[in-house]
Amino acid sequence: MELTGKKIVLGLTGGVACYKAAELCRALTKAGATVQVVMTDAATHFITAVTMQALSGQRVYSSQWDPRVDNNMAHIDVTRDADAMLIAPCSADFMAKLAHGVCDDLLSTMCLARPHAMPLLVAPAMNVEMWQNPATQRNAQQLRDDGITLFGPAAGEQACGEVGLGRMLEPQQLLEELIASFQPKVLAGKRILITAGPTFEAIDPVRGITNLSSGKMGYAVARAAREAGAEVILVSGPTALATPHGVQRINVQSAQQMHDAVMESVGGQHVFIAVAAVADWRVANASDQKMKKAADGSVPELKFLENPDILAKVAARTSVAGYPYCVGFAAESENLLAFGAAKREKKGIPLLVGNIGHHTFGQDDNTIILFDENGHTILPRADKLTLARQLISEISKRIAAHSLFQ
């Protein structure tokens, strides 16, 4: 219910992507928002007002002469208590109207008459050639210059059969973008490298050693960092999680692969957050072929080598270059306060996040403890995205004190 208490004006313009707007409307209401739908005449040719009213639970407006508004000023009244306007889909025609201040229907008039401080967000949806047309690109830039935020478009197959940029973002992506728009941009302009998930150490081509990490916390941290305005790279071990929208993801399997990806990407990063549950050891005598059961019942003897300590290596780099600011994670099964403090000292990092492994692996919520030079602070149990946002806020406060990050 991340949008509880928010009123969102959802504008629909003409385009086949209106079918996605129905799912978006449902997602917004499930997130707690009050959704006021406004449709252009063209939009009603793709989806009905009846459908949108059923999904939003609110009357739908499409005419600037609507007599249901007491003073016949829907273009004024509907937006005055709204928190944001989201136009999805936003056609090339409607983008041109916004760019040039044309207001010849209810929705365009509402956009022009909206309170100055209220965000206007648009999700372009059109044919690839229409999107790439110089006129549309000029209009898109004018909207950005006017403080209007563009979500997308995405690339892919289009209803017309052509392929390229122009698809409206998916409803879940738009929901994430809208939620992110309300988050404080405390890391605007910063670059953050994050590891997440488990690693997998092969025994043979079909077997391996891994752990119970789901990657949920690391992915939540990546999303929270991106919401805070950062440019985020996520180095991920094997998970089934969807990549947070706007985050660059690098997939790896083994600890060595994660090490190599981190060391290749860490240059120029402001912050490194090591959330991944990295295997301490790998199999030294892994087989190239699937191991078979021995006829005499004997079992294979596995030998192990220690994996590189990714966090320690980045921290050592920090001591020379001054950045990135390093944050580690520690999952323990006992004595978290003692082991967490000791691990922070051993790694030589300013901040370490501790949790109890069997209380967090695979779970949607958690309790975490922040260890720094002043001791420790407990963040009470909450869902992992809430904790991730709290962590990002703490990190932003800490790096704000360093002139290097100004």
Q: What is the set of domains in the chain, with CATH numbers?
A: 7-181 (3.40.50.1950), 191-405 (3.40.50.10300)
Give the Cα separation of 333 and 336 in Å (integer): 7
Q: Do the Cβ atoms of 357 and 366 come closer than 8 Å?
A: no
Give the Cα separation of 153 and 167 in Å (integer): 5
For residue 334, what is the DSSP state?
S
pLDDT tens by residue, 321-357: 677 999 998 877 677 777 878 888 888 888 999 886 5
CA distances from 311 to 217, 277, 335 (A): 17, 11, 21
Give the Cα separation of 108 and 339 in Å (integer): 59
Amino acid at 104: D
Neighbours of 127 (CB within 10 A): 18
What residue ranges of the chain have pLDDT lower than 70?
A: 69-77, 320-321, 333, 356-360, 362, 402-406
Nearest to 97 by CA among 122, 70, 75, 71: 122
With left for phi above 0 and alpha for psi between -120 and 50, is residue 227 left, alpha or beta? alpha
Contacts of 144 (CB under 8 A, 6+ apart): 150
Amino acid at 353: V
Nearest to 31 by CA among 4, 67, 56: 4
pLDDT reported for residue 44: 94
Residue 248, Cβ density class (10 Å: 0-12 exposed, 13-18 middle, ≥19 buried) = middle
Nearest to 34 by CA among 78, 73, 97: 78
| CA atoms in the 13 A half-sphere facing the CB of 40 | 24
Nearest to 235 by CA among 255, 256, 223, 249: 249
pLDDT reported for residue 70: 65
Query: Cis peptide before 89, with omega less than 30 degrees from 0?
Result: yes
Q: Do the Cβ atoms of 178 and 155 come closer than 8 Å?
A: no
* Segment (H or E) for 367: strand 365-372
pLDDT reported for residue 337: 77
| CA atoms in the 13 A half-sphere facing the CB of 255 | 20
Contacts of 11 (CB under 8 A, 6+ apart): 37, 38, 39, 40, 85, 86, 87, 88, 90, 107, 110, 111
Q: Do the Cβ atoms of 83 and 6 come closer than 8 Å?
A: yes
Active site residues: 160
